[in-house]
A and B are shown apart, each in its own frame.
Chain A
Amino acid sequence: MSVIELKNINKYFGTGTSRVHVLSDVNFAADKGELILVVGPSGSGKSTFLTIAGGLQTPSSGKVIVEGQDVDQLTKKQRDKLRLNHVGFVLQSYALVPYLKVKEQLEFVRRVKRTGLLSSEDLQSLLAQLGIEDLVDKFPGQLSGGQTQRVAIARALYANPEIVLADEPTAALDSARVAEVGKLFKELAETRNKAVVVVTHDMRLAEFADKTYEILDGKLGLKQPAQETY
């Protein structure tokens, strides 16, 4: 069964003549064990797609099912709980709390979530895999863009969610690191049985994806190989 499903999703912004149809009859499903890329040009509705999939905003019409739960039927608190326990967000900017050291960013997750986190050994291996095991005593202000992004990934994965939603997770990384993150996401999907959905411009990740979707003018479709890159 798919862990995340979007059924006939439409999303409009504005009213009257300024109304914009951002997502049009979007149908999407992700299963555990899959790494799915959603690509598209700026303003195509990628972030809207991601925030609706994560229950951060509601569609104008259609249904979002996460872990068998109709997100639209959940209260705000229940959606918070759903995200905290089942969905890991990896975001492009402002991802880290500026006054917490790397290890404290993880500690904060532990204090809020308390159960179902990665074990200490798994966390250590994750930090090593991301190449940030020596950065645990640094503040975000002391990290490069790439290091910041990797810490944000570690923080999302530490909560051990079934679904990982990532918004441009490799925007600040060089090609070697992109490949590492791609491999990590792939491994995460396969070995840890997660559904990983990555919204990105970065086609360097395509080689790791099981499926690549494309959003164009609000419509989502499977991207055929050898198409143009963004």
Chain B
Amino acid sequence: MYLALKEIRHEKLRYSLITGMIVLITYLIFILSGLATGLAGENTQAIDSWNAKSVVLNRDANVNLSQSTITTDQIDNANLTKNQAVIGQSPVVVKSHDREKESAQFVGLKNNEYIAKDLSVANGRKARTSHEVVVDQQFKQDGYKLGDKVKFNSATTRYTIVGFTKNAKLNVAPVVYGSLSTWKDLRNMPGAKLAGSAIVSKTANFKSHNKELKTYSDSYFVSKLPGYAAQNTTFGFMIGFLMIISLVIIAVFLYILTIQALPTYAVLRAQGIPAATLVRTIISQSLILMALGIVIGTGLTLITANMIPFGVPISFNVPMLAMISVGLLLMGIIGAAIPARKIAVVDPVQVIGG
């Protein structure tokens, strides 16, 4: 550690450049992971807020909420308790006089079931009648106000916004919470005995007792959301590649610096300085540089997060960022391993001659 710190302090420019590279990589990884988490959150925020452990869909819906319809006959034997709620979901275009149109996900609820009961309203109140809706905070950001009258798609019925709720996004669209009867109107299937799109359960082992329905775990249901897995895999690969790039950068820089300093290390070895002391030096150097890069990168990320516009879906998962930081430190150790090996086997005789 002594040699490591002394060298970094003496060769400020050289080590600033390496740290700068690590800062940029860390910053990029953190921002990307923030965007990945943010986007993933916008797919699942509403589902997460329901605290669902399992979801029952129509077996033929291919695990797709939008494609699923459940009839009243199908849930006759379901024995719904306070831990289950029937929801009806439908994509809608929200229109209002002198406001921008807004693409949203309508989620119909029963007022006496747990999702409606547990719904947290940030401004206003919960819906009491079928002509009232609670909408995601994004509507507020887009200029909508409490008391605004809205229409859905081409329908003429007007609904009043009575509350705003936070973190209510589904498939990257803001959610409009209304009644199940409104959802039925939106589906426009006269004569069909529709109950909803899905049964959401707070328990994992809920059974519908109907062979036309199937229960899926929450995680499986989420993984099958349209585009969700592909998007997360893409971000995962980008972050993975950046980790590998950080490994290559630290390895190449330290290797070059080590090769330049090899005669000095050889002389120290000749004087009996244990190889382990010198190997620890190079690993300490790598860890110091990585830690410095991560700290500065985190600072830049925080500044960016505070400046980024509201519409950009960015969210930071601290445990995940901590894991990425540990991963980067590990990359630093692995990156230092190659030059460390060079030091461990350096032959003082080659420098001294003979």
Interface set of A (CB-CB < 8 Å, partner B): 22, 45-52, 54, 56-57, 77, 80-85, 87-89, 91-100, 104, 107-108, 111-112, 139, 156, 159, 167
Contacts and interface: CB of A to CB of B under 8 A. Distances in A.
Contact of B354 (A47, A84, A87, A94): A47
Residue of B9, B272, B352 contacting most chain A CB atoms (<10 Å): B272
Contacts of A87: 272
A9 to B, nearest CB: 13
Interface string B1-17: 01100110111000000
Interface of B: 2-3, 6-7, 9-11, 261, 263-264, 266-275, 277, 348-349, 351-354
A91 B267 contact: yes
Given A47-B354, A57-B349, A94 B267 contact: yes
A65 B219 CA distance: 71
Does more than half of chain B's interface fall in helix, strand or loop, or is it mixed? helix
A98 B261 CA distance: 9
Given A99-B9, A99-B10, A108-B2, 11 more contacts: A51-B354, A56-B348, A56-B349, A80-B274, A84-B272, A91-B351, A91-B352, A94-B263, A97-B3, A107-B2, A167-B353
B6 A47 contact: no
Given A95-B267, A98-B264, A81 B272 contact: yes
Contacts of A156: 271
Residue of B263, B266, B271, B351 contacting most chain A CB atoms (<10 Å): B271
A77 B269 CA distance: 11
Contacts of B274: 77, 80, 84, 112
B25 to A, nearest CB: 26
Nearest to B10: A99
A98 B9 CA distance: 12
Contacts of A84: 271-274
Contacts of B269: 80
Given A93-B263, A111-B2, A47 B271 contact: no
Contacts of A51: 348-349, 352, 354
Contacts of B354: 22, 45-52, 57
A100 B10 CA distance: 8
Contacts of B352: 47, 50-51, 56, 91-92, 167
A38 to B, nearest CB: 12
22 contacts: A22-B354, A45-B354, A46-B354, A51-B349, A56-B270, A80-B274, A82-B272, A83-B270, A83-B271, A84-B273, A85-B272, A89-B267, A91-B351, A91-B352, A97-B6, A98-B264, A99-B10, A99-B11, A108-B3, A112-B273, A112-B274, A167-B352
B271 A94 contact: no
A80 B11 contact: no
Contact of B6 (A45, A93, A99): A99
A92 to B, nearest CB: 8
A107 B6 CA distance: 12
A96 B264 CA distance: 7
Given A51-B349, A94-B264, A98-B264, A89 B271 contact: yes
Nearest to A77: B274
Nearest to A76: B275
B269 to A, nearest CB: 8
